[in-house]
Homo-oligomer: A and B are copies of this chain.
Amino acid sequence: MPSEPVENYLKAIFSLGAESGTGQASVGRLAAIVGVTSGTATSMVRRLAREGLATYRRYGGVRLTPRGRRAAADVIRRHRVLEAFLVSVVGMDWAEVHEEAERLEHAVSARLIDRLDQMLGRPRADPHGDPIPDAQGVVLPAGGMPLGAFRAGDQVRLIRIADQRADVLRFLAGAGLVPGASITVRSTQPGADAMAVRAGRRSTVSLSMAAASRIIVEPLQLRARPGPTPRQSARR
């Protein structure tokens, strides 16, 4: 079983790879996410390669092997099942479960995770809308596109929130912006780099485009417009 630091690097490479689309992760970004210096990340990445969990070329980035991807999916599954359990069964606030799961994910057995998953009715997503890998390590592709790509008049459904910061999550929940919510785009203010949206019949709130880019949605009804519809070019 991989050590706790190794599990964290695997998780980080996995999400950087998903984000880049190519599966490739740069050592610098990896170091930043894990919270170590780049030299440390380099030597860890060399070790992962030596152990067959990743492939790596000097100055050429890192990517997971199938074995590495499987190990990463296991950690992510533990994390997300724990988050769902802490919210649904224990009644913790969704804004604070991330941190707790971040530590528990390395200590919990596969048996217990499966038991919790069963108690929850094998949910497909965690409280933030992130898909939960199954016990075989199969991860459904995330899907959806950033709220920031839509325009005034569009109606969308919130799929997931790609942000784990407790204060951000608390603000969003306060405005009704939780997975499943139906959202109307009221206006965009390109000058202010912001947009105004409302969830259901809640009051309208303003979001920076940076925040809106981390709210992943699917279209429900788009206002007629010229030109092409927004694509899944989820550059952030």
Contact = CB atoms under 8 A, between A and B. Distances in A.
Contact of A104 (B89, B92, B99, B108): B108
Nearest to A90: B115
Contacts of A92: 112, 115
Contact of A107 (B91, B103, B116): B103
By size class, the interface of chain A is 10 to 19
Given A104-B108, A107-B103, A108-B103, A89 B89 contact: yes
A51 interface: no
Contact of A119 (B90, B103, B112, B116): B90
A86 interface: yes
Copies of this subunit: 2
Interface of A: 86, 89-92, 96, 99-100, 103-104, 106-109, 111-112, 115-116, 119
23 contacts: A86-B112, A89-B89, A90-B112, A90-B115, A90-B116, A90-B119, A91-B115, A92-B112, A92-B115, A96-B111, A99-B109, A100-B108, A100-B109, A100-B111, A100-B112, A103-B107, A103-B108, A103-B109, A104-B104, A104-B107, A104-B108, A106-B107, A107-B107
Contacts of A106: 107
A104 to B, nearest CB: 5
Given A90-B119, A106-B107, 17 more contacts: A89-B89, A90-B112, A90-B115, A90-B116, A92-B112, A92-B115, A96-B111, A100-B109, A100-B111, A100-B112, A103-B107, A103-B108, A103-B109, A104-B104, A104-B107, A104-B108, A107-B107
